[in-house]
Amino acid sequence: METEILDGYEMEAVEKAAAIMKSGGIVAFPTETVYGLGAIATDAAAVKKIFEAKGRPGDNPLIVHIANTDMMKDLIDGDIPLDANLLCEEFWPGPLSMILPRSRKVPDAVTAGLNTVAIRMPSNTVALELIKAAGPIAAPSANSSGRPSPTTAKHVFNDLNGQIPLILDGGSCRVGLESTVLDLTCTPPRVLRPGGVTPEQIAEVIGECEVDGSVLRPLGEGETARSPGMKYRHYAPGGNVTIVKGSRKRMASKVCTLYDAAAKNGKKCAILAASGNRSLYGDRKVRMLGNNIQEQSRELFAALREMDDMGAEEIFCEGTEAKELGLAYMNRLGRAASFHVVDADEREGKRQ
Ligand code: TXA
Ligand code: MG
């Protein structure tokens, strides 16, 4: 199969994508977070094609994307709960997925047999036009399973060329990290995956919100993931990733020490750093991510993909404070690093 890339801002391209979906096919499309790989949510056979193309385990449920709140009625069981109403007024369209009790109209293939469904309204024109033309769309990120999520049409092409008929190109994604996944079926509501809408913002609207313990650490033995996706190895490039945290100068100096030791052993090394810290690394190989957490989040997945392209064997990444958007950033980076973190402020042999 030839994979075509069309400009998503052309109405004809969106119509073509909708036609493919209506005849049971799958299509990649841009959202403000990452690119999605979509099928019509009520078409179980088409949804199964998504799992095949990505190589995704069947027990990992998909998010259903909608273009207006009317589309929710057929997807959830009962009325829209008060908290969900408040949150969608505040954050939709935008990077927030809400988990609610599901209606029987949503096939098991979408929810992986769970009795809940995750729903979100993306804030990307191309995505919204496509959903209006095709109806609610079930879509995971459009990467091969385990790879970093795609933030450009080219990333999707590199992973799925030959497996899908069409990619709608909408340029680079504005947020760059996947949506916040919020479980509204428990009290208090709980963030299972942090994203562009922060726990702090959610708590401001509905009063209370917890963050699942597994967000910044690996799952313990025998522990089950509340969000099935969190149990899989993710975002990991081929090389070893080490996060170095600490105050700016100590962090940079630790990165340099680790880098030089690995380079001396013949390893191909690279550093992922804030642009403002470039000068701290001399002539070492640095991929700059930007000047603030928004820019760093937008660039992270592209940078991790570049690490594979250049064959980096040891990758040293600056850590950042795990709050607000930094929580989502450190969650993704932590998983890319299998939570291998070095604290540059901790002196060797230091006692409490
Ligand atoms: O920003 C995003 O969310 C992107 C764009 C395309 O919308 N989508 C995305 O989908 O990241 P995916 O499939 O890569 O991640 C969905 C996450 C997974 O961790 C999955 O386990 C979780 O949401 N999830 C989906 N439905 C769920 C449910 N009913 N209960 C618990 N977790 C759920
Ligand atoms: Mg994904």
User: 113-157: per-residue pLDDT in tens?
Assistant: 999 999 999 999 999 999 999 999 999 999 999 899 999 999 999
Residue 140: CB atoms within 10 Å: 21
257 CA from centroid of ligand 1 (Å): 38
User: Could you tell me the two tokens for 49?
Assistant: 């094609």
What is the per-residue pLDDT for 233?
Answer: 64
**Which neighbouring-strand residues pair with 183?**
99, 190
Starting from the CA of residue 38, give the closest ligand: 1
pLDDT of residue 220: 72
Return the bridge partners of 288, or none: 273
Give the least confident one: 23-32, 79-88, 100-109, 211-220: 211-220
What pLDDT was estimated at residue 226? 72
Placement of tokens 């660039």 in the chain:
299
Burial of 23 (0-12, 13-18, 19+ CB in 10 A): exposed
Contacts of 85 (CB under 8 A, 6+ apart): none
CB pairs under 8 A, 24+ apart, for 91-94? 91/197, 91/201, 91/205, 92/120, 92/121, 92/123, 93/121, 93/122, 93/123, 93/124, 93/128, 94/32, 94/121, 94/122, 94/123, 94/196, 94/197
How do residues 276-313 score in pLDDT, each as one tens digit?
999 999 999 999 999 999 999 999 999 999 999 999 99
Which residue from 96, 156, 129, 116 is spatially nearest to 9, judged by alpha carbons? 129
Phi first, then psi: what are they for 75, rounded to 5°?
Answer: -100, -30
- In the numeric block, the tokens 């880098």 are attached to 259
- Whether 127 is in the pocket of ligand 1, judged by its Cβ within 6 Å, is no
Q: CA-CA distance, 153 to 142, in Å (whole number)?
A: 9
Distance 195 CA to ligand 2 centre (A): 12
Using DSSP's 3-state secondary structure scheme, residue 31 falls into coil
Average pLDDT on 72-93 reads 97
- The answer to whether 60 and 232 have CB atoms below 8 angstroms apart is yes
* Ligand 1, atom 18: closest residue by C-alpha: 229
Ligand 1 pocket, 63 CB below 6 A?
A: yes
Q: Spell out the CATH class of 240-351.
A: alpha beta
Please indicate whether residue 214, judged by its CB atom, sits closer than 6 Å to ligand 1. no
Q: Is 228 close to ligand 1, i.e. is its CB under 6 Å away?
A: yes
Ligand nearest to the CA of 212: 1
pLDDT at 352: 43
- What percent of the chain stands above pLDDT 70? 97
Residue of 305, 300, 248, 321 whose CA lies nearest to 278:
248
Percent of the chain past pLDDT 90, that is, above it, reads 89
Which residues place a Cβ less than 5 A from the ion ligand 2?
Answer: 140-141
State in Å: Cα 345 to ligand 1 middle: 35
Q: What is the reported pLDDT for 219?
A: 73
pTM beyond 0.85: the answer is yes
Helix (H, G, I), strand (E, B) or coil at 63: strand
Mean pLDDT confidence for 77-88: 96
pLDDT attached to residue 237: 87
CB 332, CB 194: distance < 8 Å: no
- Which ligand is closest to the CA of 95, given by its number? 1
For ligand 2, the distance from its centroid to the CA atom of residue 140, given in whole angstroms, is: 5
- Which residue has tokens 């109806």? 135
Going by C-alpha positions, the residue among 54, 26, 56 that lies closest to residue 38 is: 26
> Of ligand 1's atoms, which has the minimum distance to the CA of residue 195?
1
Average pLDDT, the chain: 94
How close is the Cα of 177 to the center of ligand 2, in Å? 10
**Chain segment 243-276, per-residue pLDDT in tens:** 999 999 999 999 999 999 999 999 999 999 999 9
pLDDT in tens, 11-45: 999 999 999 999 999 999 999 999 999 999 999 99
- Closest ligand to 123 CA? 1
Nearest CA to ligand 1 atom 7: 36
Instruction: Report how far ligand 2's centroid is from the alpha carbon of 139 (Å).
Output: 9
349 has a pLDDT exceeding 70: no
Mean pLDDT for 70-98 is: 97
36 lines ligand 1 (CB under 6 A): yes
173-194, pLDDT tens digit by residue? 999 999 999 999 999 999 999 9
How many A from CA of 122 to the centre of ligand 2?
15
Name residue, tokens 């940078």. 303
Q: What's the pLDDT band for 232 if we cut at 50, 70, 90?
A: low
- Ligand sitting nearest the alpha carbon of 34: 1
Task: Give domain limits for the chain.
Answer: 4-216, 240-351
* pLDDT surpasses 70 at 7: yes
- Determine whether the shortest distance from the Cβ of 143 to ligand 1 is under 6 A: no
Q: Which of 19, 128, 133, 116 is nearest to 61 (CA)?
A: 116
Please report the pLDDT score of residue 146 as a whole number: 87
Is residue 225 scored above 80 in pLDDT? Answer: no
Name the class of domain 4-216.
Answer: alpha beta
| pLDDT at site 127 | 98
Write out the DSSP string of 126-147: HHHHHHHHH-SEEE-BSSPTTS
Is the minimum distance from the CB of 117 to ligand 1 under 6 angstroms?
yes
Distances (CA, A) of 123 to 64, 91, 146, 223, 245: 14, 10, 25, 34, 33
